[in-house]
Structures are given as C-alpha cells and as structure tokens.
Amino acid sequence: MHQAFFIFLPNLIRLHLSIDNIVKYLGIALFFVLIQVLFVNNINISGLGLTPHLYIVALLLLPFEIQPWLLLVFAFVTGLSVDTFDDTGGVHASALVATAFVRPVILRILSPRDGYESGTKPRVFYFGVVWFARYAVIIVFLHHFLYFYLEVFTFDRFFYTFATILLNTIFTLIFIILSQFLIFRK
C-alpha cells in the first residue's frame, strides 16, 4: 500500500506543475477570446466579411508536449466561449476541435530533423518566422476551411466561400504573426 503511494507521488507532483501551465494557457485563451468578441468581431473590412479569428492563437501556442485529450478539451472550451458570445451554435468549437485533432500530425510533419527540444514552444523566437508561418498557415487555413463551410453549410457558392476562406486566412495570419512580435517575446 505504501509503495503504491510513493510510485503515484511523482505523478501528483507532475500534475501540480501541469496545472500551473494549464492555468497560464487558459489565461492566454481567455485574453484572446475577449479580444475577439469585444474588439475584433467589430472589424469588417469594406463589407467583404474579413474578420480575423485571433482566438486561434490560443491553439497555436500550446506546448508541444500537451496531452491529446487536454488539447481537445482546451480547443472545445475556447471555441465554445467564442460561440457563446457570437451566438454561432458551435461552429467555432467544431472547427477548433477538428483543427486541434489534426495539430499533432501537422507538428510531426513540420518537426525539425532532431525533433522538438523539451521546453521549447511553437513560437517565432524558437523556430523562426518561416517555420512559424508554415505552421500557422496550415492551422489557420484548416480552421477557416472548416469554420466557413460549416457556417454556410452548403457547397452552392463553393468558390465564393473558398475566396472568403483565403482572404480571411491571410488577414488572420497578419494579426497572428504581428502578435508574435508584439505580445509573445522570448
């Protein structure tokens, strides 16, 4: 009985450290959700429907070592928070969870030859602008593809929706890369 406790103790300590990180990343998500719903959703360039989705940053910046189940829960809570404010019925949550599900595969594909060093984060300052831009383009495009097609829920205007996806992806990427230099410094 006592041996089992001492085997379990390191896992408790590790869990305590993980809870600190979880709270930190939930704070980042809350910050970007609030920025999204209070300010960014009011941006609409010339009626084209160009609105950056900055809350995706919360998913982009999660550590490489995050457990898959926690990644999906985090994406769901973040997306559902935006859905609650925007009254969009789960479209943000669905797109973000699906994107989070694919994120580990994308990170494996983009992995440096020697893999990711422990303690590094998916940021411009660790891997450079080119690596981060590739990573962000894939994640943002995938999210937008799912989000906009779920939103319209038809392929009748396929090319119009696809053009909207491309323009919003570019617009969102500009803000995300700027956030790397303005908010998330090394």
Question: Nearest-5° angle of CA 58, CA 161, CA 155?
Answer: 115
SS3 50: strand
- The number of domains in the chain is 1
pLDDT (tens place) for every residue of the chain, 186 residues total: 455 444 444 444 444 336 777 788 888 889 989 998 888 887 766 566 788 899 999 999 998 888 898 899 999 999 999 999 998 999 999 999 999 999 999 999 998 888 888 777 898 888 999 999 999 999 999 999 999 999 998 888 899 999 999 999 999 999 999 988 887 665
Q: Which residues pair with 50 in a beta bridge?
A: 45
User: What's the pLDDT at 11?
Assistant: 47
Tokens of 171: 């617009």
User: What's the pLDDT at 47?
Assistant: 64
Tokens of 43: 């941006």
SS3 45: strand
Q: What are phi and psi of 36, to 5 degrees?
A: -60, -55
CATH at residue 43? 1.10.1760
SS3 29: helix
User: What's the pLDDT at 139?
Assistant: 98
User: What's the pLDDT at 106?
Assistant: 96
CB 56 within 8 A of CB 179: no
Write down the pTM of the prediction: 0.84
Return the closest-CA partner of residue 95 out of 16, 172, 182, 12. 172
Task: Report the sign of the C-alpha dihedral through residues 110, 116, 120, 126, in that order.
Answer: negative
Q: Which domain holds residue 94?
A: 2-182
Q: Please, what is the end-to-end C-alpha distance for the chain in angstroms? A: 45
Name every residue whose Cβ is closer than 8 Å to that of residue 62 and which is 6 or more positions away in sequence: 25, 71, 74, 122
User: What's the pLDDT at 125?
Assistant: 86
User: What's the pLDDT at 51?
Assistant: 85
CA atoms within 13 A on the CB side of 110: 20
Q: What are phi and psi of 168, to 5 degrees?
A: -70, -35
